Structure formats: C-alpha cells, structure tokens
Amino acid sequence: MPDTLLDVRNLIAYYMTPTAPVRAVDNVSFNVTEKEILGIAGESGCGKSTLAYSILRLLKPPGYIRGGEVLFKGSDLLKIEEEELRRIRWKHISYIPQSSMNALNPVMRIEEQIGDAIINHEKISKGELRKRIEDLLVSVGLSPSVAHMYPHELSGGMRQRVVIAMAMALDPELIIADEPTTALDVVVQRGILQLLRDIRSKLKASVIMITHDMAAQAQIVDRLAIMYAGKIVEIGDANDLFNDPLHPYSRALISAIPSISEKKKLKGVPGFPPDLRSPPPGCRFYPRCPHRIPGKCNVDEPRLIEVKNDRLVACHLYR
C-alpha cells in the first residue's frame, strides 16, 4: 500500500449569506497517496474550488470552515499555527490558482517572481538562484531567456508554464492545480497536461487536479473524484470509473461528453443543480436522478461507501 500523503476527513466549508449558509463543501472525505494524480471533477458551483481553498486554509470570509480535518503527513493543517502553515505552503504544498496566468505581477521580471518564492523559504546564493530559475524554466519547456522578460511579453500558455515552474520551485510533495488548462488553446492545453504528468516523475510529487473538463481528467489522472452539489458522489480508479461509472450523476456526466472521434446522440441531464442554501433532503441529485427511489432517496442521505475494490459511491442503488 502506498503511503497516504493527504487525508481529508469530513471537511465542511460554508459561505455566510444573509439568509442561510451556502453549503459549498459538505462533509467531504478523501485521501491522496504519494506520487498520485487525483482528479476532482464537477460542474460550476459544485464546491471543487472551495475544497482547494479549504485544504490550503486560504478560504476568505464570508467563507468559513465549519469542521473536519485536513491531515498532511499526519498533522492537521486546520489546527497548526499560521507561522507553521506558511512554512508548509509552497515548500511542501504548492498551489496553482484558477486563471493564475493573469496573477503574475506585471511590473516584475519573471526571474524576480520565481526568485521571491525561493528566497522566502531558502538561503541561497545569487548564482545558485539564477541557475535554479533557469533550470525550472527549462523543465517547463521554456527558454532560459524568459527569465528576463515581463509577463506581458509572454502568451497565456507561456505564463501558465511560468506559474507551474513557480509551483515546482521548492520541490513540494503536493501540488494543487485549479483549472490549470481552462482558457488555453488546445495544443497548449495538451502541453500543460503533459507537464502536470511530468511533475510526478520529476519531483516524485502528488498532484490534485481540479477541473470540470472530463476529457482532460481522462488523459492524466490516476484516480478521480466526482463532486455534485458540495459532496463527493463517487471516487475510484480513473480507468474503471470512465468504463463503468456507477453513480447516476457520474454516468450522466460521462455520457454528456461529445467526442471528436465518434458521433453519438448526447443526452443532457434534465433539471439544474440545487441552491446550496437549501439543498433537497436526502440525496442532492434526487430531483434530477433517472433512477431515484421515492421515499428513500429523498429522505435518507446516502453515505459514500465502498461498493467494489477501491470504488466508493454515495447512492442507494448500491447497498
């Protein structure tokens, strides 16, 4: 058994609103093992980005963590001192935020931005630092001369590669990437996915990749978790899950992906995701589910349980 690196237990993160809290992440548990790429998929508003912020304790008000544990190599990130947390972020866990290619400082050269992240955590000579920055740029397929450039001189895809280089700068054990390929052209997108796979082999690090893009997930992740309305509804081996999705929502989501290589009639999922201020009782997919069992699914909330090896599903059809 590979060692567990991150163990998220019963995590609950809400957003305060004047009426009722938005239950964005509601009792979510999963783990990430060493050198694993875990995908988190789901549609907008399902809570996947909130989950990333919560793990890193970056959730800002009106968001708040209501409960649960985030165990990183055994210590609970939600309980440690801010000072220690800052030491862990970047050095042990780094983060590629959503639309991060627009988050680079426009008036700083690339070398200064990457350099800052390193100097904050390590004592290193100037010469070594320059060498390190150049190596990082080369490892994401960029020319070392990019170090002297400003962000506006780079394309979106190149800036995204700079951000990935920054995330790799301190040799972290875990990288969390939130929609790393959205808004990039398809050829660049492919290059970025390739890089995320390289991270595992080069750094021997684990990656959590959050994206709604199921085809991107299919290309690189080892295991996949599918979220719906603040909950994980299914998690398991990616091959297995794509071949034989068990939860009715996973099935619908996978059968709604158009494919360039074959023309098959696509069926959308009728209805819309619930308002997370007042989610329906029982299973949150109940109102849209083609297999719902009235009197059961809208009363009892199904728990995420193992239904076959390494596959967990939260659905009353499987018990």
Q: At what angle are helices 110-119 and 156-168 packed, to 10 degrees?
A: 20
Among 34, 212, 287, 301, binds another protein (CB under 8 A): 212
Euclidean distance between CA atoms 30 and 34, whole angstroms? 14
Least distance (Å) between residue 191 CB and another protein:
4
Q: Let me know if 319 is exposed, middle or buried by CB neighbors in 10 A (0-12, 13-18, 19+).
A: exposed
Please report, as a single letter, which amino acid is at residue 100.
Answer: S
Least distance (Å) between residue 262 CB and another protein:
8
201 touches another protein (CB under 8 A) = no
And the tokens for 52? 């990333």
Helices (H), the chain: 48-55, 82-88, 110-119, 126-139, 156-168, 186-203, 214-220, 238-243, 248-255
What b-and-e string marks burial along 141-155, b requiring 16 or more CB atoms within 10 Å of the CB? ebeeebbebebeebe
Considering only residues 60 through 79, tell me which ones interact with another protein, judged by CB under 8 A. none
Comparing CB distances to another protein, the nearer of 8 and 166 is 166
Please report, as a single letter, which amino acid is at residue 191.
Answer: G
102 touches another protein (CB under 8 A) = no
215 touches another protein (CB under 8 A) = yes
Comparing CB distances to another protein, the nearer of 32 and 269 is 269
Comparing CB distances to another protein, the nearer of 35 and 159 is 159
Least distance (Å) between residue 256 CB and another protein:
5
Least distance (Å) between residue 116 CB and another protein:
23
146 touches another protein (CB under 8 A) = yes
Least distance (Å) between residue 186 CB and another protein:
5
Comparing CB distances to another protein, the nearer of 54 and 189 is 189
Euclidean distance between CA atoms 94 and 203, whole angstroms? 13
Site map for another protein, 20-49, x if CB under 8 A?
Answer: -----------------------xx-----
What b-and-e string marks burial along 44-77, b requiring 16 or more CB atoms within 10 Å of the CB? ebbbbbbbbbbbbeebeeebebeebebbbeeeeb
Least distance (Å) between residue 268 CB and another protein:
3
Among 68, 230, 273, 302, binds another protein (CB under 8 A): 273
Q: Is 271 left (phi over 0), alpha (psi -120 to 50) or beta?
A: left
17 touches another protein (CB under 8 A) = no
Site map for another protein, 249-268, x if CB under 8 A?
Answer: ---xxx-xxxxxx-x--xxx
And the tokens for 23? 């239950």
Euclidean distance between CA atoms 249 and 316, whole angstroms? 13
Q: Say if residues 178 and 99 touch (Cβ distance below 8 Å).
A: no
Considering only residues 156 through 175, tell me which ones interact with another protein, judged by CB under 8 A. 156-158, 161
Among 55, 56, 77, 142, binds another protein (CB under 8 A): 142
Report the interface residues with another protein, using CB under 8 A: 43-44, 141-143, 145-146, 153-158, 161, 185-191, 193-194, 212-216, 218-221, 238-239, 242-243, 252-254, 256-261, 263, 266-270, 272-273
